[in-house]
Amino acid sequence: MRAGPWLSLFVLVSTVHVGFARAQTVNEARAAYEDARFEAALDALDQTFEASRLSVRQVADALELRALAAFALQDREVHDLALRQLAALQPNRVLAAETPPDVRARWEDLRTTVEPFDARFEVRREGDDVIAIVIANDVEGLARTYELTLEGGGQRTSSEGLRARVRSREGGSYSLVVTAIGPGGAVLGERRHTAEVMPSGALTVAAPSPNRRARRALISVSVVVVVAMAVGVGLSFALREESSGAVLVGPQP
């Protein structure tokens, strides 16, 4: 029995259902806010952020609405956090015309002072393994999780959190892809970094010299080389706004 058409219909219905449920939750939150049911609005927004397949624009709209509802409840902590996350996501956003003056003033204060979402990459060799590490600076807690992929020669052995390991004695080019996932499953950005890795055992250490001053000079040079290598593999990128949404771009100075 061929189930192709039925499967396609099921996927279509499921997608429409998810989109409808997501829009319904946002609409409920907005309706509750307009009816001065501010706690109900916050509850509906919590459900929205737990949904999947949200766009960056939808996350930004929900954050703005959360800030308004929290302001009405005089919850300064939730209000400020929502505005700070919004500033990290869309610092050039123009708030709605009906925004209360106090909220607008607080927004203007925060949007220019909040640290942007950024991260740096590091790809290095540890024995027979190639190690990739991402160090994220997400001070506003905007990213919920990260997807990390390390591609290149060798066999992938493990990947957890912001660290991936590939077993390979060979050198060559390795690609590290990091995707930042935000509230509601929204893709905040994706970045690919390519690094050249030396083969295992390619670096040799010179035999120690009997001369004490020569040994000290060799140690000093080695430290400089190691520091230079550690600095050289870092790569930063920042969150910026484009017409298609927020993306991670780099390198940045």
- Tokens in use for 125? 């060799």
Is the model's pLDDT at 163 over the cut of 80? yes
- Does residue 148 sit in the same domain as residue 57? no
- Does residue 98 sit in the same domain as residue 138? no
Is the model's pLDDT at 236 over the cut of 90? no
Count CA atoms closer than 13 A to 232's CA, side-chain side: 10
The percent of the chain in helix, strand and coil, each rounded to the nearest 5, is: 45, 25, 30
- Tokens in use for 44? 């509906």
How many structural domains comprise the chain? 2
CATH number of the domain at 128, please.
Answer: 2.60.40.10
SS3 call for 222: helix
- Does residue 30 sit in the same domain as residue 105? yes
Among 38-52, 57-71, 116-130, the range scoring the smallest mean pLDDT is 116-130
CATH number of the domain at 40, please.
Answer: 1.25.40
Asked if residues 133 and 122 have their Cβ atoms less than 8 Å apart, the reply is yes
What is the pLDDT, as a whole number, of residue 24? 63
**C-alpha dihedral over 88, 82, 22, 38, to 10 degrees?**
-160
Strand order in the sheet with 172-181: 145-151, 172-181, 187-197
Structural domain including 217 reads: 118-249
The CA radius of gyration of the chain, in Å to the nearest whole number, is: 24
pLDDT digits (tens, 9 = 90+) for 190-214: 888 899 999 988 754 444 444 544 4
Asked if residues 200 and 124 have their Cβ atoms less than 8 Å apart, the reply is no
For residue 140, what pLDDT band results from cuts at 50, 70 and 90? Answer: confident
pTM beyond 0.85, yes or no: no
**DSSP states of 10-66:** HHHHHHHHHHHHHHHHHHHHHHHHHTT-HHHHHHHHHHHHTSSS--HHHHHHHHHHH
Which amino acid type is present at position 73?
L
